[in-house]
Amino acid sequence: MSSISPPLRLATWANAAQATAIQEMLALTSKPGMLSFALGLPDASLFLAEVFAQSAAQLLVEDPQSLQYGPPSQALKMHIVALTL
CA distance 85 to 58: 27
pLDDT for position 58: 96
Listed by start position, the domains of the chain span 44-84
pLDDT for position 2: 53
Burial of 26-38, coded b for 16+ CB within 10 Å and e otherwise, reads: eeeeeeeeeeeee
Q: For the chain, which residues score pLDDT lower than 50?
A: 1
Kindly tell me the number of DSSP H helices and DSSP E strands found in the chain: 4, 0
CA distance 5 to 60: 46
